[in-house]
Structure 1
Amino acid sequence: MNDCETQADWTLSDSGTFDRAVGATGKRVGSNCLKLTSTAATDNSQYVQTVVIDESVILPLGPNGHKQQDWTDTAYIGFWTHAEDSAEYGADGEMKWALVNDGTVSAKQDITGIVGTEHQWMQIDISGLPRDKVEAIRFYSNNPATAEDLYIDNIIRYKYELGGAPVFGCYYYITSGTTLTEAEGVKWTIDGLAAASATETVSDLGPAILGASTLLGTAARNKYGMIPGKFILMVKASGSTTAGEGLQSSAANTYKDADSGSMEHSPLKGLEAAGAASDWIFAIYDTAGQQI
């Protein structure tokens, strides 16, 4: 939808009160993210908006003379959130989200308060909203505090979710600028599939089906490889975890490193490490019990 790489994609309703900038230090995917700042106290009327919502490009002009897109195939919007300071935008609803459909702003939906400084996945259910003529998306600030920052990255829309995050399954997008070869080994990275390592790593996934002899990843992240037998998903950690180790269920729909001696009972394997509680990480179902 929007990769949050370019701050110029976003316009401001109240410059000097609620502002935006490039936030390289808060990024999760790519090189940059969107940094939102309550320069002054905000009251839920100040917003930043983008119409660049079609794979990070502006919508084409439709037959009705408007730049609109039908999102009735979409049930959820999701994106990464992050704070450099755990106290900033830490309460539910201090930041809100809305879409603009055929000139009408939807009901504003709360963004969950940021816990700690880990990257967290925020999912918003839009299945009940009018969304047949979407024109823009907005972030509203409802924060009485000043000089607080919230980082947003990699906004996507999707139909199916599992545990509060999108389901990737055996498909994952190819890293921008990377050319993969049909049936050759690939590895997972947060930026997309890449050629497998010369030596085995925890993120190696095996051969990929591309539907072509070679396939080049794009900045729009719309070129995918299929890894037979794998199931890629995102999970929320209950504490720090180790990349490559088995993960087992913890409290409140979260996961933790498997208990010592119980790797064979783990339902998942972490493709990356979690830094602390509330960190969202990528995992796979298939080789969970095999610690590498």
Structure 2
Amino acid sequence: MPNENQFQIEYFINKICSCEQVSPELIVKTQSIISDPEYITTCLESTLNDLSENARLMSDVDLLVFYIKHWKNYRLMCDALYTSCLSLNLQRIQYNFSQEEKQIENISVTSQRLWETILIKSLFSRVTKACLNAIDEHRNNRLNLDPNIIKDVLNIYSDENLYILIKQDKINRTITDIYIDCFESQYLQNAQKFFTDRKNHLRTDELIEYLISISNYLHNELTFAKRYLPAERSTYSDLTDILEHLFFFGNIFHNVWNDLELLVEQENYFQIANFYKAINQVPRIKNVVVELIETEFYHSGRRTFRSVDKDAMEVN
């Protein structure tokens, strides 16, 4: 094969492996120079191996974006590769080169197998760790994470096609549900560990400040988690239960009454307003505290509520 043709084919394979849109003009141009299907396969395999090595040096987020892009597009890229071989295929049929014809017809299947082996399956474990690491980094305020990236990865985990691929490997034969076995269980453990540590750094003897702090923690965590956790799974509900059981211990809501009563006696309506603003973010805390206020504070008269409402509006 002339060097110029090799260069053109390598350029085409690199374009295919970038998972970018391949123009019809480029496909037609490549059709006219392809003469050796084995060279196509060899070139594709080499390029995918290079991509796999480069992916191991990526940051967690970059790896997730890379994996999502290839998962969504690699079958289309393999179809484009097959289309580029149609001209040669017709020539082989015309001259009845049955063996070569079979090679061409299977180029799409061969390329998919290479893609799945070299990228999809080999990077799977690292992608799982990267997904959990990125969430942990975001919790620690060290990473500005786009929740749609995590959402896309979790959608892949629920894809039956990925399950079939992963189950083909003997090393992964114990996986029955990729989402649960590879993400959910560790995700909930990480959340419990992280917020247990946060709780240990909070002073529970100052209940007003404690509830303000955990209201902010829960609001930030649950609001963000809701943007990427799949609605059809129970993970969000399980996460909420874990956090509520962790932070809402004993008679905390009844014990807070003494602190609220003291704030009212001191006419510290600004702090009460701050407290209300914080707990208003978390329905479970808000509902319990509001019920407590309605039960106890009505004895203090409507004037107290007007003062609290006025300050609350100023804070908001």
TM above 0.5, yes or no, is no
TM-score, length of structure 2 as denominator length: 0.23
TM-score, length of structure 1 as denominator length: 0.25
Larger helix percent: 2
